[in-house]
Structure formats: C-alpha cells, structure tokens
C-alpha cells in the first residue's frame, strides 16, 4: 500500500534540528531498505511454497469482492512491507510507528475478511517484516559511515 512508502518519504523530510533530521533520514533509508528486502524475502518464500489463497481453496464458501490476486498467499506481502516500515518509524517516533503497525494490521484484517489471505498469512507477513527490519537495522549499524556519506551527498545536491 502507498501509505507505507509515503510514510518513509515523510520521514525523510522530518526533523526539527540538523541532527534529528540526519537520524530521521538514516531511519528512512533503513525503512526503504527493509521494504525492498521484504519484497525479496516474500518472493523467495512464494517461489518455494505456492500456498493457494482462501478464495481458491474454498470457492463455494467465499465470494471474492474484487480482483483475484494471482500470487501465493503466504506470507502476506503488504503486511511484511507494512511491519518493516512500522518498525523503522517506531525507532524514531513511537506514535507514528504504532499508527503504521495498526494500519498494517487493519489492512491485514480486511484482507482476511474478504477471503484474500488466511490469518496465518498475516502473522507470517508481520514476522517477515519485523525480522527483515532487524536485519536491515543491523546492516545500518555496520554500514553507518557509508550511509551517512550518502545522506550528506543528497543534502549537497538539495535532495535532503
């Protein structure tokens, strides 16, 4: 969903002081990296396990309300992205991170309600997102001098 990408855009341009702005920008880069890596991890899991969606497993019991997704059900990709981004936001702004996590959860619930995901797909997506954020957070600490240099370059060309 677009809201998670836009939240990282907002985070990039937030911060009242130069040091706070640098922290927010490093966090936004970590969140964007977690978003991208979450997509890759979900794609790998989908390649290994093609779990059918509920409306395919139970066609007589579920009436699909909108288009039928063609990718596997587990783990829920939008939820993985939502939780990866929410974890990033949580590190600098607890309220914003909680709001994003609740948004991802509500999105997941709505997709279960309409028969597109199983509840375990949502839990799996959330776990993937949180685990990937933990990994990217570790990478951020290891590569912080390089990432800081990239942010300073972006500031030099008026992108940050």
Dist. CA 110–CA 160, nearest whole Å: 36
Domain limits at 79? 22-47+72-160
In a domain? residue 102: yes
Assess if residue 8 is contained within a domain. Answer: no
How many whole angstroms separate alpha carbon 137 and alpha carbon 143?
A: 10
**More confidently predicted of 12 and 106:** 106
User: Tens digit of pLDDT for each residue in 87-105?
Assistant: 999 999 999 999 999 999 9
Question: Tokens at residue 80, please?
Answer: 């993985």
Residue 147 located in a structural domain: yes
Determine, yes or no, domain membership for 4: no
- Residues 121, 123: Cα–Cα separation, whole Å: 6
What does DSSP assign to residue 53? P
Is 59:157 a contact under the CB 8 Å cutoff? no
Per the structure block, which two tokens stand in for 109? 């619930």
Contact 27, 91 (CB under 8 A): yes
**Is 12 inside any structural domain?**
no
Taking the model in full, what pTM does it have? 0.84
Res 160: pLDDT? 59
Structural domain tally of the chain? 1
């Amino acid at each position: 969903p677009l809201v998670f990408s836009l939240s990282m855009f907002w985070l990039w341009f937030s911060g009242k002081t130069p040091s706070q702005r640098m922290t927010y920008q490093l966090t936004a880069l970590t969140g964007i990296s977690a978003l991208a890596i979450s997509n890759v991890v979900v794609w790998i899991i989908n390649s290994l396990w093609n779990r059918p969606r509920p409306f395919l497993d139970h066609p007589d019991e579920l009436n699909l309300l909108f288009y039928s997704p063609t990718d596997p059900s587990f783990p829920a990709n939008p939820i993985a992205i939502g939780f990866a981004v929410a974890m990033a936001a949580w590190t600098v702004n607890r309220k914003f991170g909680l709001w994003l996590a609740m948004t991802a959860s509500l999105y997941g619930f709505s997709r279960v309600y309409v028969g597109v995901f199983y509840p375990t797909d949502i839990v799996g997506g959330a776990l993937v997102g949180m685990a990937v954020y933990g990994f990217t957070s570790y990478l951020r600490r290891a590569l912080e001098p390089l990432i800081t240099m990239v942010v300073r370059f972006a500031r030099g060309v008026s992108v940050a």
